[in-house]
Amino acid sequence: MTRIDARFAELRAAGRKAFVSYIMAGDPDADTSLEVMKGLPGAGVDIIELGVPFTDPMADGPTIQLAGQRALAGGMTLEKTLAMARAFREGDDVTPIVLMGYYNPIYNRGVERFLRDATAAGIDGLIVVDLPPEEDDELCIPASNAGLNFIRLATPTTDDKRLPKVLQNTSGFVYYVSITGITGAAAAEAGDVGPEVARIKAQTDLPVIVGFGIRSPETAQTIAGVADGCVVGSAIVGEMARGRPVAEVLAFVRGLAEGAHRA
């Protein structure tokens, strides 16, 4: 059982929905992003998504693209992202960490070496948005064999014919993208999301977590109410981009987490 599996078991036992937060490693700088990361569990975050900056983040909107550019300009790399996870693990051995990014940096490092290093750094799961199920032998199956959850995205365009293929080697949870398009592009609507979550849950026992388009405690509550939890990324990254002090960023996160946990 991974930390992700254990966390969802705890949440189910407590009758509570999950709140997942995304931050970009190295944004606005390495020290600040680590300080925020260390504060996330205390702000109510159940699972941390840690973004790996990449030069061509095709699934991300302007907010996260700019965060990645700032991180890269500051010298953040995959190696330093793993070091950030190791530093976090010195004080927290229970909060799950999902590494989210693109395949190129992993490929360049070498899959075997990457999986060994990620496991040693305390990473629990991977979201690699540009590797389709047809390429599962490339990373998904080796990651699962190494004890990491490989989390797949389903979208509004994932029809009933495609969905079983998406789900076949997915573990940890399913990330449902609430809108068609890039991160931060539109607002999530529970009326649209609810039937899609039900459709996915009819084909899997995995938790379904909804992301994209969630910016307020109220939206976090309504979206978590029709799923097993929600993810917020761009709204948090946007607060950091405005130069908010770490305490204010964490207070913003706490409000979102409380919204999700009220669902």
pLDDT tens by residue, 151-178: 999 999 999 999 999 999 999 999 999 8
Active site residue 79: no
Do the beta carbons of residue 24 and residue 237 sit within 8 Å? yes
pLDDT at 209 exceeding the cut of 80 = yes
Active site residue 218: no
pLDDT at 12 exceeding the cut of 80 = yes
33 found inside a domain: yes
Residue range 206-228: mean pLDDT, rounded = 95
In this prediction, residue 57 has a pLDDT band, given cuts at 50, 70 and 90, of confident
In this prediction, residue 59 has a pLDDT band, given cuts at 50, 70 and 90, of confident
For residue 142, say if its preceding peptide bond is cis, omega within 30 degrees of 0: no
76 found inside a domain: yes
Residue 103 tokens read as 């395949």
Residue range 81-105: mean pLDDT, rounded = 97
| Beta strands at 229-232 and 149-150: parallel, antiparallel or unpaired | unpaired
- Segments forming the whole domain that contains residue 14: 3-150+213-262
pLDDT at 183 exceeding the cut of 90 = no
185 found inside a domain: no
Q: What is the CATH number of the domain that holds 126?
A: 3.20.20.70
Do the beta carbons of residue 188 and residue 214 sit within 8 Å? yes
pLDDT at 186 exceeding the cut of 70 = no
Predicted local confidence at residue 189, as pLDDT: 73
Indicate the number of domains in the chain.
Answer: 1
Give DSSP secondary structure letters for 158-188: --TTTHHHHHTT--S-EEEE-SSSSTTSS--
120 found inside a domain: yes
Kindly list the distances between the CA atom of residue 123 and the CA atoms of 7, 26, 96, 235, in Å, as whole numbers in the listed order. 14, 17, 7, 24
Residue range 212-229: mean pLDDT, rounded = 95
Taking alpha carbons only, the member of 37, 68, 61 closest to residue 253 is: 37
Rounded to whole angstroms, how far apart are CA atoms 41 and 54?
A: 26
Rounded to whole angstroms, how far apart are CA atoms 258 and 219?
A: 11
pLDDT at 144 exceeding the cut of 80 = yes
Residue 83 tokens read as 């070091």
Predicted local confidence at residue 234, as pLDDT: 93
Q: Beta-strand (E) ranges in the chain?
A: 18-24, 47-51, 97-101, 125-128, 149-150, 153-154, 174-177, 208-211, 229-232
170 found inside a domain: no
In this prediction, residue 60 has a pLDDT band, given cuts at 50, 70 and 90, of confident
SS3 96: coil
158 found inside a domain: no
pLDDT at 39 exceeding the cut of 70 = yes
> Residue 100: beta bridge partners?
51, 127
Residue 228 tokens read as 């097993």
173 found inside a domain: no
Q: Which of 46, 49, 124, 136 is catalytic?
A: 49
Amino acid at 100: M
Q: Which of 5, 46, 60, 124 is catalytic?
A: 60
64 found inside a domain: yes
